[in-house]
Amino acid sequence: MNKQPKSLEEIRAQVEACHACPLADGRTQTVFGAGNPQARVLIIGEAPGKNEDAQGVPFVGAAGKKLNALLDIAGLDRDDVFIANVLKCRPPSNRDPRPEEIELCSPFLRDQTRAIDPEFIVTLGNFATRFILKTEVGITLLHGQVQQAGKFKVFPIYHPAAAIYDRKKQAALEEDFATLGCLIREADAAAGATTAADAAAAADAAADAAAARS
């Protein structure tokens, strides 16, 4: 039996109350995620940094500025998407998330994914990509290629922070966000085509029924 998804507000309250790992002791506040609760695109980063920890909002520092510009390339803005992280608390000195922290924090991301029920999941960098795709293959090989994970189309992309000092990654990021925009428009067109085909079939059926009556 399918359980009813938790509401985002319920999940947020659980995140705020969480003390499951020592990251809770060092946080200023949790960073739950932000954006459109009905987004078609869920973007998943790694963990809050200093600015995010201070403001309680994901991607507000330098990587956030980059992400905003990249979303623009895809024809999206922050109100179109929901942005969350694998970890909801800042690791000290922005070190990498540890496996046990990911394990303890991951139920929140799973519940958020169920609540938002997006069409696309964009994973930024290795940690989010490995977690969602359950793979050890690195982002360098996977970025820019759509993968299917259950009902979700997963689109791995480099983490925007990786491009701050690397122009090649910046070019790949821009290309991948442009591809993301195309994928969304293609999905729209396919949905439109289905609707048009349904409408044509319905018109045919109505005409047949009318002919049968006469």
Q: How is residue 154 annotated by DSSP? A: E
Nearer of residues 59 and 158 to ligand URA, judged by Cβ: 59
Angle at 61 between CA 59 and CA 66, to 5 degrees: 70
CA distance 194 to 138: 36
- For residue 7, report the phi and psi dihedrals to the nearest 5 degrees: -80, 155
Query: Measured from the CB of residue 4, what is the shortest distance to ligand URA in angstroms?
Result: 29
Q: Which residue is nearest to ligand URA (CB)?
A: 45
CA distance 126 to 14: 26
Nearer of residues 54 and 187 to ligand URA, judged by Cβ: 54
Its sign, for the CA torsion 178, 71, 140, 186, is negative
**Residue with tokens 């954006």, as numbered in its chain:** 35
Query: Measured from the CB of residue 133, what is the shortest distance to ligand URA in angstroms?
Result: 17
Q: Which residue(s) pair with 147 in the sheet?
A: 154
Query: Measured from the CB of residue 132, what is the shortest distance to ligand URA in angstroms?
Result: 14
CA distance 143 to 141: 6
Which residues would be at the binding site for ligand URA (CB under 6 A)? 45-49, 52, 58-59, 63, 85, 161
Pair of tokens at residue 71 = 């979303």
Query: Measured from the CB of residue 49, what is the shortest distance to ligand URA in angstroms?
Result: 5
Query: Measured from the CB of residue 58, what is the shortest distance to ligand URA in angstroms?
Result: 4
- For residue 34, report the phi and psi dihedrals to the nearest 5 degrees: -155, 155
CA distance 12 to 15: 5
Query: Measured from the CB of residue 72, what is the shortest distance to ligand URA in angstroms?
Result: 18
Edge-first strand order for the sheet with 152-157 is 34-35, 81-85, 41-45, 120-124, 152-157, 147-149
Q: How is residue 40 annotated by DSSP? A: S
Nearer of residues 48 and 156 to ligand URA, judged by Cβ: 48
Nearer of residues 40 and 88 to ligand URA, judged by Cβ: 88
Nearer of residues 46 and 111 to ligand URA, judged by Cβ: 46
